[in-house]
Amino acid sequence: MDKLLKKAFVEAAIKFPSALFGMFCTFAVLTILDSVVPKAAEGLMNFFEPALLFIQRWLPLFYVPSLVVLPLAVKDVPAASGAKICFILVGGWLASLCVAGFTAISVRKMVKTEMIPAEPMAKPSPFTSLEMWTWSGIFLASFVGALYYPTALGTSARTCLPFLLSSTVLGYLVGSGLPSAVKKVFHPIICCAVSADLAAIAFGYLSKSGLDPVLGDYLTKAASNPGAGDILMGFLGSVIISFAFSMFKQRKLVKRHAAEIFTSVIISTLFSLYSTALIGRLIGLEPNLTISILPRCITVALALSIVSLFEGVNSSLTAAVVVLTGLVGANFVQAVLDKLGFNDPIARGIATASSAHGLGTAALSAKEPEALPFCAIAYALTGIFGSLICSVPAVRQSLLAIVG
């Protein structure tokens, strides 16, 4: 389904992410089936349950490649500007999370919607020591093989693929086994990216090729010559489409709390765009850099389409800032949500996805699967509303006026 939708969207010159469209279509089909032939909807859910548990078990892995190659994206940004961008990024993430979460709770109180328990979600099995040793063996064998037989698999990307992929998986296994208190401030996603970067640094040093070429082989974005990151990101469309099943399982809560979901997403998206523009001007960040980071809380594909509406922007910086925002959210979101007292899966899911898009969604839902449906909805709606609002000329002019 993902491949067919991608092909159709390319041929129709539609820039909207096809996987998000597929997610809503799947949710619509399940909802219609449930109202017409309930047993058919239940049968589909049961049929896909093993695949959904597999995706949930490995979910953060599919979002990691952008983090691994982050050093390539930020190396040309001046240090002073980089410090200002980091200030906006961290402060803006926290502010957006608070706005989304408190708006959801306030709207719920205004419309007097009583909170009911979420449907229990199945949790995947924990990782075993056998998996750890197996992936360790694959990494060591492939790393040594790549050093001594650099052309055995043809291109350098294919040579590096086995050990870079296994180091990424190994980092996730190690991170998942850390104590809960540690994981709240050092998420397995971070461990995953660090593990892959350390493997790339070690190979670059020992092979005397340097770090940049190895990271370039991690994510080539060439179908004929894929790297480890391309393999992982190849599953991302299917992963996003699969969110529809989690949304369907929590359909009663989605329908019951539609007012707070939509209101909080709209308000937090507007807040994110305009607060970024204002803070950028107040702290003296260059206007073109401020415009480049405006869609910091929106998923990469839509963030890039948003900045393309403006002139003189740095699209590489846009992608890097979106990934960094997700990184901050993935690492600290659970601890911050606990501190702020957001206890129900709706407020937690909306606040997370509205402020840290896909990476935040992957990080939170790996621990709290009940929050995944609301993360998925907010993740999609934030991108959709951000794209729509920025396509209005008056809005773009107002943002440019604030930026200066």
The residue with tokens 């699967």 is 369
Q: Specify the pLDDT at position 143.
A: 94
Handedness of CA 158, 162, 163, 165 (dihedral sign): positive
> What angle do the packed helices 236-249 and 372-390 form, to 10 degrees?
120
Q: Specify the pLDDT at position 306.
A: 86
Q: Phi and psi of 188, rounded to 5°? A: -55, -30
Q: Specify the pLDDT at position 301.
A: 75
The residue with tokens 């990080």 is 363
Q: Specify the pLDDT at position 94.
A: 93
**Closest Cα to residue 191, out of 172, 216, 164, 207?**
172
The residue with tokens 């709706």 is 346
Q: Specify the pLDDT at position 254.
A: 83
Q: Where are the domains of the chain?
A: 2-48, 77-119+250-403, 129-237
Nearest-angstrom CA–CA distance, 66 and 84: 22
For each of the chain's 404 residues, which pLDDT tens digit applies? 999 999 999 999 887 788 888 989 999 999 999 999 999 999 999 999 999 999 988 988 888 888 888 888 777 778 888 899 999 999 999 999 999 999 999 998 888 887 777 777 778 888 999 999 999 999 999 999 999 888 777 778 888 999 999 999 999 999 888 887 787 778 888 889 999 999 999 999 999 888 889 998 998 888 888 999 999 988 988 988 998 998 898 888 888 888 888 999 999 999 999 999 999 999 998 998 899 999 998 888 788 888 888 887 777 788 888 888 988 888 888 889 999 988 888 899 999 999 988 888 888 887 888 888 888 888 888 988 888 898 888 999 999 999 98
CB 364 within 8 A of CB 350: no
Indicate yes or no: pTM above 0.95.
no
Nearest-angstrom CA–CA distance, 331 and 49: 28
CB 77 within 8 A of CB 318: no
The residue with tokens 């200066």 is 404
Q: Phi and psi of 338, rounded to 5°? A: -65, -45
Q: Specify the pLDDT at position 123.
A: 80
